[in-house]
Structure 1
Amino acid sequence: MTLLERVERTIRRHAMLAGGESVLVAVSGGADSVALLHVLATLAPAWGLRLHALHVDHGLRADSARDAEFVRRLGERLGIPVDVATVTVERRGSLEAAARAARYAALAACADRVGAARIAIGHTADDQAETALMRVLQGAGLRGLAGIPPVRDRIIRPLIECRRVDLIAELRQAGLEWVEDPSNQDPKFLRNRIRHELLPWLTESVSPEIADGLVRVAAAARATVGALDRIAASELERLAEIGDRAVILPLKALRALPRDVAAEVLRQAAARLGSGTPLRAWAHRGLRRILATPPPRKRFRIGAVTLEVSGPRLRLALGTLPPLTQRGVPVPGRLPLPEIGLVL
Structure 2
Amino acid sequence: MAVSGGPDSLALLLLAHAACGADRIAAATIDHGLRPESAAEADFVAGLCAELGVAHTTIRVEVDEGNLQANARSARYLALGQWHDEARVSAVMTAHHADDQAETLLMRLNRGSGVSGLAGIRSTAEIPGWGGTLFRPLLRWRKTELEAIVAGAGIEPVRDPSNTDEQFDRARVRRFLEEQDWIDPAMLAASAEHLEDAWRAIEWFAAEDWETHVVPDSDQQGRGFRYYANVPRAVAIETIGRIITELGGTASRGEAARAFDRLWQGENASLAGVLAVPGTERLEGTGITMRVWRFAPEPPRSST
Interval of TM-score (by shorter of Structure 1 and Structure 2): 0.7 to 0.9
CA–CA separation in structure 2 for the residues paired with 1:282 and 1:189: 27
Identify the residue that residue 279 of structure 1 maps to in structure 2: 252
Q: TM-score, normalization: structure 2? A: 0.83
Number of matched pairs: 280
Identify the residue that residue 330 of structure 1 maps to in structure 2: none
Identify the residue that residue 287 of structure 2 maps to in structure 1: none
Deviations 1:210-266 (A, max 9, x none): 11221122122222222222112111111112599755123xx31x43222211111
CA contact (8 A) 1:56 1:103 kept: yes
Identify the residue that residue 249 of structure 1 maps to in structure 2: 226
CA–CA separation in structure 2 for the residues paired with 1:78 and 1:119: 19
Identify the residue that residue 133 of structure 1 maps to in structure 2: 106
Cα displacement (A) at 1:76: 0.6
The ranges of structure 1 where at least 4 consecutive aligned residues each deviate by more than 4 angstroms after the TM superposition are 242-247, 271-276, 310-313, 320-323
Cα displacement (A) at 1:138: 2.4
Identify the residue that residue 102 of structure 1 maps to in structure 2: 75
Identify the residue that residue 75 of structure 1 maps to in structure 2: 49
CA contact (8 A) 1:145 1:217 kept: no
Cα displacement (A) at 1:310: 8.2
Cα displacement (A) at 1:35: 0.8
Cα displacement (A) at 1:308: 4.2
Give 5+ residue unaligned stretches, structure 1: 1-24, 324-344
Cα displacement (A) at 1:39: 0.9
Match for 1:117: what amino acid? S
Q: Are 2:200 and 1:200 aligned?
A: no
Q: TM-score, normalization: structure 1? A: 0.74
Residue pairs, 1:300-319, within 5 angstroms: 300-302=270-272, 306-309=274-277, 313-316=293-296
Match for 1:108: what amino acid? G
CA–CA separation in structure 2 for the residues paired with 1:245 and 1:160: 45
Identify the residue that residue 150 of structure 2 maps to in structure 1: 171
Match for 1:222: what amino acid? E
CA–CA separation in structure 2 for the residues paired with 1:267 and 1:136: 22
CA contact (8 A) 2:116 2:199 kept: yes
Partner secondary structure for residue 25 of structure 2: strand
Given candidates 176, 180, 193, the residue that maps to 1:219 is 193
CA–CA separation in structure 1 for the residues paired with 2:249 and 2:76: 23
Cα displacement (A) at 1:54: 1.0
Partner secondary structure for residue 54 of structure 2: coil
CA–CA separation in structure 2 for the residues paired with 1:38 and 1:178: 12
Q: Are 2:83 and 1:149 aligned?
A: no
Identify the residue that residue 20 of structure 2 maps to in structure 1: 44
Q: Percent identity over the alignment?
A: 34
Cα displacement (A) at 1:282: 2.9
CA–CA separation in structure 2 for the residues paired with 1:272 and 1:157: 31
Match for 1:173: what amino acid? G
Deviations 1:282-330 (A, max 9, x none): 321332344453435xxx442xx5334386551256xx7899xxxxxxx
CA contact (8 A) 1:248 1:315 kept: yes
Give 5+ residue unaligned stretches, structure 2: 127-132, 280-291
CA–CA separation in structure 2 for the residues paired with 1:275 and 1:67: 43
CA RMSD of aligned residues (A): 2.6
